[in-house]
């Protein structure tokens, strides 16, 4: 019975979360109850919890995690300055007269917003409110319109600067060091958030390209589903000037943030501060920056950041109790005994994370699951950058998958009544297939994730 306690703990946490209780307090509260009962029964050593102050101090002094509030501030400020609205209007004017042009516009704007904000829920809701009514008015198939919005909105999971990759990079860094120590390697190599940012560039852009190819294919073979739209313009010269003036500020911000990281000029935390200041300048340029707007943005940033760090603290308690019950040893035995070796272990972990993505957000999965399975998989010789990108795309796929995908819930909340839930489900299916194809390509060619970091950081 005792050997099953860590798995019972995990199951109880999942069930309580499904009842709607706050994640951070569920993780910490349920774990402490199990720890007290375990110590009373002689199955848990309370000394494990003595490591909690050091864990919390490590969270407070972690320079990498400073990037979280900065990137959140950057994203909320850009959302407040109505960049998405201007980008959609401009892209629609540029591509709308083509078959599938509005779908192409939504995908490209989703890519730009992903590289600007990295906040999935806000992107899906914003795109749903702005573009879905226009697409329906232009007689687009509701299913493909909804699918395009959901898929492009989740690009913030993988295209840097992604908050997912910031948190995942910090957790994987600790897991990689732990794996090397367990293998008897004392000259430790490191993996950083910057490594994941660079490694995500090719898979992220590859997904965008595959989305566009799918939309172009539908427009060619089923033109009635993606008809051209009649867009009023004021002439080619005026249109191109509008494109330049609207695209240049956010593109400059993206180049400043990502370029400083890729060029080795700044760490992700330093680049995040550049992004936060740049977002304020962009809002000021659009005359959307005032004290009231700044107060709202700062309040939203504090709320999101507090949620993230409270979950981090709850996950630290869960991790200590899980290990106190011998959970890491049980999981290690389970994964190493699977048929297929490392391939079987990766497949099982990816399936588990995919299913957990139905009930848990990426933050909980990153803080709870990755610290458990990460050291075990990395000790099997897997590349940490490749593993991080695989996890990010896997979670992105999970957030798109019916019936519980988070992106589907976000869009359902803002979609008009004529867009049925079944239409949303049908619309995302082709994009789920594209996601799975990208996962398969990454599994077959890990260089898609590892080649660019090697080039940028001079390892190849």
Q: What is the mean pLDDT of each run of 10 residues along the chain (460 residues)?
A: 80 81 85 89 82 83 83 82 78 76 86 71 76 84 91 86 84 86 75 87 94 93 82 67 82 84 80 88 83 89 86 85 83 80 88 82 81 87 91 89 80 84 91 94 92 76
Note the pLDDT of residue 290: 84
DSSP 99: T
DSSP 369: I
Contact 401, 424 (CB under 8 A): no
Q: 57: which residues sit within 8 A by CB, 6+ positions away?
A: none
Note the pLDDT of residue 58: 82
Note the pLDDT of residue 429: 94
Region of residue 100 (left: phi > 0; alpha: psi -120 to 50; beta: else)? left
CB atoms within 10 A of CB 273: 18
- Tokens standing for 18? 């499904």
| Cα distances (Å, whole numbers) of residue 42 to 6, 7, 36, 321, 422 | 15, 18, 10, 14, 52
Q: 263: which residues sit within 8 A by CB, 6+ positions away?
A: none
| Cα distances (Å, whole numbers) of residue 69 to 168, 283, 342 | 15, 18, 36
pTM metric for this prediction: 0.85
Burial class (CB in 10 A: 0-12, 13-18, 19+), 327: buried
Contact 372, 322 (CB under 8 A): yes
Angle (deg, nearest 10), helices 67-80 and 101-116: 140
Note the pLDDT of residue 289: 80
DSSP assignment string, 214-280: HHHHHHHH-GGGS-------S-HHHHHHHHHHHHHHHHHHHHHHHHHHHTTSS-HHHHHHHHHHHHH
Gap between the Cα atoms of 116 and 71, Å rounded:
9
H/E element holding 353?
helix 341-356
């Amino acid at each position: 019975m005792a050997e099953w306690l860590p798995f019972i703990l995990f199951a109880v946490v999942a069930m309580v979360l499904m009842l709607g209780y706050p994640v951070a307090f569920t993780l910490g509260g349920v774990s402490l109850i199990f720890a007290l009962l375990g110590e009373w029964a002689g199955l848990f050593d309370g000394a494990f919890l003595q490591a909690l102050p050091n864990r919390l101090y490590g969270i407070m002094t972690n320079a990498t995690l400073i990037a979280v509030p900065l990137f959140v501030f950057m994203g909320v400020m850009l959302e407040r300055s109505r960049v998405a609205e201007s980008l959609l209007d401009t892209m629609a004017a540029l591509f709308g007269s083509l078959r599938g042009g509005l779908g192409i516009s939504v995908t490209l704007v989703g890519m730009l917003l992903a590289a600007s904000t990295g906040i999935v829920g806000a992107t899906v809701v914003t795109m749903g409110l702005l573009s879905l009514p226009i697409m329906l008015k232009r007689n687009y198939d509701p299913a493909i319109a909804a699918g395009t919005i959901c898929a492009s909105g989740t690009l913030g999971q993988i295209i840097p600067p992604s908050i997912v990759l910031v948190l995942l990079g910090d957790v994987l860094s600790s897991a990689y060091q732990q794996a090397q120590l367990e293998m008897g390697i004392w000259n430790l190599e490191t993996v950083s958030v910057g490594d994941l940012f660079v490694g995500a560039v090719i898979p992220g852009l590859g997904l965008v390209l595959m989305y566009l190819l799918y939309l172009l294919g539908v427009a060619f073979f089923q033109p009635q589903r993606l008809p051209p739209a009649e867009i009023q313009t004021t002439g080619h010269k005026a249109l191109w000037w509008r494109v330049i003036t609207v695209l240049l500020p956010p593109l400059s911000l993206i180049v400043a943030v990502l370029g400083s990281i890729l060029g080795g000029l700044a760490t992700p935390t330093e680049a995040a501060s550049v992004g936060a200041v740049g977002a304020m300048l962009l809002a000021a340029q659009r005359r959307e920056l005032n004290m009231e707007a700044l107060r709202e943005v700062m309040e939203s940033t504090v709320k999101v950041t507090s949620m993230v760090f409270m979950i981090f603290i709850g996950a630290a308690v869960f991790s200590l109790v899980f290990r106190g019950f011998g959970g890491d040893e049980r999981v290690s035995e389970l994964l190493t005994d699977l048929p297929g070796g490392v391939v079987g272990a990766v497949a099982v972990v990816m399936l588990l994370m995919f299913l957990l993505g139905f009930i848990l957000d990426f933050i909980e999965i990153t803080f709870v699951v990755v610290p458990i399975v990460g050291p075990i998989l990395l000790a099997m010789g897997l590349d940490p950058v490749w593993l991080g990108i695989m996890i990010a795309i896997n979670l992105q796929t999970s957030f798109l998958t019916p019936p519980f995908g988070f992106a589907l819930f976000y869009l359902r909340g803002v979609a008009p009544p004529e867009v049925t839930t079944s239409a949303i489900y049908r619309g995302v299916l082709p994009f789920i297939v594209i996601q799975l194809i990208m996962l398969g390509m990454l599994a077959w060619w890990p260089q898609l994730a590892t080649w660019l970091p090697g080039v940028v950081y001079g390892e190849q």
